[in-house]
């Protein structure tokens, strides 16, 4: 899969997970890597960028297993962006789907 | 490669990143190692799934040199093009245009917020903090701007919150909560300033204690406790943070809350 496209999709995945509930970094990494094949190390730079650009904020919360964990929460801008990207993604997928189906139709002919 | 070697390599490859940022990045990976090994993974497995530290570092560096929007542009472009190769040129243009429009729209919103704001001085002060702070947390800053825009009272407290947020990366949530309470209060609460300072200076890293401070702020704003009592609590909390043993700290903390 194209690296740049994958990055864009990852951004949407992160925003979508956090739209559901606030998570710490490792939770996000696990959720994504269970479904998409990626180098887990690439998620943290993305998280930092999304934070720097104002899509989310972070806060520390104590954990029972040791030092506090850094949690990520969406800002209003993050929530809006998630909705916009999700819509764009759906349009994209549907478009690709239509193209693929047209190809199948050509072969049958 | 061991965990320490991984972190050392990452640190070295991030040499040109400002120290505070670099520390925070390394903290993220240390946290990752902690959580992954708690989940039963071995060091080798963790490093394997993380990927090469140098290419990880490269991603932070690309982000720093202003190419941040590149990914977004390409993503938008690909989406706008609906996968048809001959439309690629138009798609690229459309993608860039869409991003520019979005950025402009966002800037316009911020400007409008600022215009409707009556206390120009406060906004100027917050902007000054933004300029001074090298590692501002824009999410927290945006929240603060929103609070400042609507606030009628407790301007000093909100200004202080801006100052504190400009200095810290973590634990901005309690500060924002107190600032928001201060902004919505229909009267001045003198000691909110102190409370904010205590929240971060003494309660840093401990969300539990910070949340106790948020409770105090809530009570003070709703007139459930008096200014004097709030002052006492803050004093005790400061004493607690200087205590030599955990037992002493806990005793002081209990006394602080009994005094309310």
How far is residue B10's CA from residue B14's CA, in Å, rounded to a whole number? Answer: 6
Chain A hits for B63, Cβ within 8 Å: 45, 48-49, 52
Are A60 and B205 within 8 A, CB to CB? yes
Question: Between A53 and A55, whose confidence is greater?
Answer: A55
Identify the H or E element spanning B119: none
Q: What pLDDT is recorded for position B119?
A: 47
> Best mutation site among A43, A54, A55 for testing chain B: the one with the most B CBs within 10 Å?
A54
Of B58, B48, B66, B47, which is closest to residue B16 (Cα–Cα)?
Answer: B58
Residue A44: the pLDDT is 94
Say how far apart CA B203 and CA B177 lie, in whole Å.
15
- What confidence score (pLDDT) does residue B77 get? 47
Pairs of CB atoms within 8 A across A/B: 156
Kindly give, in sequence order, each residue whose CB lies less than 8 Å from that of residue B70, ignoring residues fewer than 6 positions away.
Answer: A4, B62
Q: Which of B35, B50, B82 faces A41 most closely, judged by CB atoms?
A: B50
Residues B215, B204: Cα–Cα separation, whole Å: 16
Mind listing the pLDDT tens digit of every residue in chain B (260 residues)?
Answer: 899 999 999 999 999 888 888 998 999 999 999 999 988 999 999 999 999 999 899 888 875 444 444 445 544 444 444 444 444 445 545 555 555 555 555 555 554 444 443 445 555 556 665 565 544 556 666 677 777 766 666 777 777 777 777 666 556 777 788 888 877 777 777 777 777 777 766 655 566 677 777 888 888 888 787 888 788 777 777 766 666 555 665 666 666 666 65
Q: Chain A contacts of B51, Cβ < 8 Å? A: 39-42
- pLDDT number for residue B115: 42
A88 has pLDDT over 80: yes
Contacts of B79 in chain A (CB under 8 A): 8, 88-89, 91-92
Alpha helices per DSSP H over chain B:
3-13, 19-38, 43-50, 53-64, 68-81, 88-116, 120-132, 138-150, 155-167, 172-184, 192-201, 207-221, 227-242, 246-258
So what's the pLDDT on residue A74? 93
Query: Which of A66-75, A91-100, B159-168 has the highest average model confidence (pLDDT)?
Result: A66-75
Of B74, B82, B170, the CB nearest to A4: B74
Contacts of A92 in chain B (CB under 8 A): 78-79, 82-83
Is it the case that residue A29 has pLDDT exceeding 90? yes
Greatest CA separation for chain B:
74
Among B27, B63, B207, select the one facing A49 at the smallest CB separation: B63
pLDDT of residue B163: 73
Secondary structure of residue A16 in the 3-state scheme: helix
Question: What is the reported pTM?
Answer: 0.48
Share of chain A above pLDDT 70, in %: 89
ipTM for the complex shown: 0.82
User: Structure tokens of A99?
Assistant: 């193209």
Distances (CA, A) of B169 to A6, B21, B72, B136, B247: 28, 9, 25, 7, 30
């Amino acid at each position: 899969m194209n690296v740049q496209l994958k990055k864009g999709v990852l951004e949407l995945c992160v925003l979508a997970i956090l739209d559901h509930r606030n998570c710490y970094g490792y939770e996000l990494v696990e959720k994504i890597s269970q479904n998409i094949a990626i180098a887990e190390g690439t998620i943290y730079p993305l998280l930092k960028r999304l934070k720097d650009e104002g899509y989310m904020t972070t806060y520390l919360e104590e954990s029972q297993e040791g030092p506090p964990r850094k949690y990520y929460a969406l800002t209003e801008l993050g929530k809006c962006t998630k909705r916009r990207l999700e819509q764009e993604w759906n349009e994209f997928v549907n478009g690709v789907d239509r193209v693929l189906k047209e190809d199948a139709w050509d072969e049958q002919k | 490669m061991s965990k320490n070697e991984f972190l050392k390599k990452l640190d070295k490859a991030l040499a040109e990143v400002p120290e505070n940022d670099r520390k925070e990045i390394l903290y993220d990976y240390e946290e990752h190692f902690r959580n992954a090994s708690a989940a039963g993974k071995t060091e080798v497995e963790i490093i394997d799934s993380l990927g090469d530290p140098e290419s990880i570092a490269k991603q932070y560096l690309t982000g720093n040199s202003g190419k941040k929007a590149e990914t977004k542009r390409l993503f938008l472009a690909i989406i706008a093009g609906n996968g048809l190769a001959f439309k690629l040129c138009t798609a690229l243009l459309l993608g860039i245009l869409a991003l520019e429009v979005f950025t402009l729209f966002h800037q316009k919103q911020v400007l409008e917020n600022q215009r409707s704001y009556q206390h120009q001085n406060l906004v100027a002060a917050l902007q000054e903090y933004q300029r001074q702070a090298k590692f501002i947390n824009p999410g927290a800053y945006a929240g603060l701007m929103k609070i400042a825009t609507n606030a009628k009272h407790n301007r000093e407290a909100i200004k202080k919150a801006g100052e504190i947020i400009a200095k810290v990366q973590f634990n901005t949530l309690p500060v924002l909560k107190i600032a928001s309470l201060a902004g919505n209060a229909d009267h001045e609460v003198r000691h909110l300033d102190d409370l904010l300072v205590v929240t971060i200076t003494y309660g840093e890293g401990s969300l539990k204690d910070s949340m106790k401070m948020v409770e105090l702020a809530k009570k003070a704003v709703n007139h459930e406790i008096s200014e004097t009592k709030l002052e006492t609590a803050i004093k005790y909390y400061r004493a607690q943070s200087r205590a030599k043993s955990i037992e002493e700290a806990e005793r002081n903390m209990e006394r602080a809350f009994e005094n309310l």
